[in-house]
Chain A
């Protein structure tokens, strides 16, 4: 199993550009989530999904969209990038209800100029 994979590893955007951060897992996990990690702020939940076709907002959802068309994939879309979205983004997955342990991807470093 590859576990949780994220692409790209690093991305530079200009203000106003849009992009999609990819996340995939091969563990048949129902629950997937996106976090951003900023210095001194810990991890903050952006969006999460408890299964295909179901998504919900986390703590800091503004400026981001998600969709969950399959169990395996959970892409995060930045609609119009802003410098405040410069961060490290982590995707995670877990078996919903039966085990809450989160398995994290390696992260995507995003720099918005």
Chain B
């Protein structure tokens, strides 16, 4: 399986601090995506980075991808209480007519006011 593995499993920080979550995977990928899930809700797409990209930004989010180390990181700057959620990385792999997105187990982020 090329399932992404997030680290840490849980992270607790104060409002205004930065939060960094990491994701590792096992095989080659086409892209890596990050999703957020608020408690009891569906997942919301945050950002996608392709295998030929090294860094992407979206608002307060910064994602890096190191294909040589098979790892990615998600940085949330100046965190807010509303950022409290579970964050999942997902690795995308396509071949022929098949495309699969495989999720990790997630990082639970708690931002304390």
Contacts and interface: CB of A to CB of B under 8 A. Distances in A.
A101 B103 contact: no
B82 interface: no
A74 interface: no
B18 to A, nearest CB: 24
Interface stretch (A14-22, A34-42, A65-73, A76-84): A34-42
B48 A101 contact: yes
B5 to A, nearest CB: 9
B68 interface: no
Nearest to B50: A100
A85 B42 CA distance: 19
Interface residues of A, number: 28
Given A42-B88, A42-B105, A43-B88, A102 B100 contact: no
Chain A contact residues, majority secondary structure = strand
Interface of B: 1, 3, 30-31, 33, 35, 41-45, 48, 88, 90, 92, 94, 97-106
12 contacts: A35-B103, A42-B103, A42-B106, A50-B98, A50-B99, A90-B42, A92-B43, A100-B31, A100-B101, A102-B45, A104-B42, A104-B44
Given A54-B97, A97-B94, A100-B31, 10 more contacts: A33-B101, A40-B105, A42-B3, A42-B88, A42-B104, A97-B99, A102-B35, A104-B43, A104-B44, A106-B41
